[in-house]
Amino acid sequence: MPEIINRASAPKSGGDCVYHLQLKPGDVPRYVILPGAPERTLIIAENWEDVREVASCREFKTVSGAYKGMRLAATSTGIGGPSSEICIHELNVLGVHTCIRVGTTGCIVPQFDLGDLIIPVACVRHDGTSITYVEPEFPAFADTRVVMALMQACETLGFRYGLGLCYTVGSFYIGQGRPLNEDGSGYWPSFAERIIPDLQQARVTNIEMETSAQFVVGYLHGMRMGAVLSVIANRVLDRWGDNGGEERACLAACEAMKILAQQDERG
């Protein structure tokens, strides 16, 4: 019999490290911000002290530091539900209990425009990953305390924001009603034409690719989950642009974490 060095049911990397994130216990505090893109971890940490890159493997990059004296980390999730699931599970193994996703989104209602912040209170679960955990009727919702901390942070910082009902989908093109070619040629099923109008009828505010998977997986792990999304696509006016929203979302997430940590300290 060969010597067993790793279990297929719970693989580790390099001794005590969780497999994909390559982090060991103690590498991250219990509050972690979750951008999608690895490079955004460093943008988030621009307002921190004692910044250290802890690990970087595939789409998962982790930086740690301190924001206004509070220990924080940021770990990138990559795009979509599957890599989000891996990230949240492995952070939970390390003792993380509160996560705020910082990401971008497309708005489908005229109340929002480029650069505005959307704090989703709940999501329609078309992510393709959370269905592997729990039945489709199970709700994807944000933790109320995290939502309130994000609202307070946006108010304090003077950022334009609103609460949202988010559509999370495991596709950027057809699944978000985007034709594959600008001249309208190529695969274009009739249902794709109806995606955005039907979501508008249902009073959904915005579309993106990760939040519902993160809310469900985090909730099932007993974690507090929230998200702040900057509008980078205006699907009503067909315009694309950041307008400073990503930076504001990063700052709002840091400030909200500080608020939550202070509440936790007070009990």
Residue ranges binding ligand URA (CB under 6 A) = 104-106, 172, 176, 207-209, 232-233
Cβ 106 to ligand URA shortest distance, Å: 3
Q: Would you say 17 or 216 has its CB closer to ligand URA?
A: 216
Q: Which amino acid is at 70?
A: M
Cβ 210 to ligand URA shortest distance, Å: 8
Q: Would you say 114 or 146 has its CB closer to ligand URA?
A: 114
Q: Any idea what DSSP says for residue 208?
A: E
Q: Would you say 70 or 207 has its CB closer to ligand URA?
A: 207
Q: Who contacts 219 (Cβ-Cβ below 8 Å, separation ≥6)?
A: 140, 141, 143, 225
Task: Specify whether 90 is catalytic.
Answer: yes
User: Which candidate in 20, 40, 101, 248 is catalytic?
Assistant: 20
Cβ 206 to ligand URA shortest distance, Å: 8
User: Which candidate in 59, 85, 90, 208 is catalytic?
Assistant: 90
How far the first Cα of the chain sits from its last, in Å, is 52
- With CB atoms as reference, the residue minimizing the distance to ligand URA is 106
User: Are the C-beta atoms of 142 and 229 separated by less than 8 Å?
Assistant: no
User: Are the C-beta atoms of 245 and 104 separated by less than 8 Å?
Assistant: yes
Question: Nearest-CA neighbor of 118 among 134, 102, 129?
Answer: 102
Q: Would you say 147 or 207 has its CB closer to ligand URA?
A: 207
Task: Specify whether 59 is catalytic.
Answer: no
Q: Hey, what long-range contacts does 66-72 have (CB within 8 A, 24 or more apart)?
A: 67/254, 67/257, 67/258, 68/258, 70/31, 70/257, 70/258, 70/261, 71/29, 71/31, 72/29, 72/31, 72/32, 72/33, 72/48, 72/254, 72/257
In sign, the C-alpha dihedral spanning 229, 230, 232, 233 is positive
Task: Specify whether 235 is catalytic.
Answer: yes
Task: Count CB neighbours of 158 within 10 A.
Answer: 7
Q: Would you say 90 or 208 has its CB closer to ligand URA?
A: 208
Task: Specify whether 203 is catalytic.
Answer: no
User: Which candidate in 235, 246, 248, 255 is catalytic?
Assistant: 235
Cβ 104 to ligand URA shortest distance, Å: 4
155's tokens: 């108010």
Q: Would you say 24 or 175 has its CB closer to ligand URA?
A: 175
Cβ 240 to ligand URA shortest distance, Å: 8
Kindly write down the DSSP assignment for every residue of 216-237, as one continuous string.
HHHHHTT-EEEEEEEEEEETTT
In sign, the C-alpha dihedral spanning 167, 147, 64, 91 is negative
- Active-site residue list: 20, 90, 178, 235
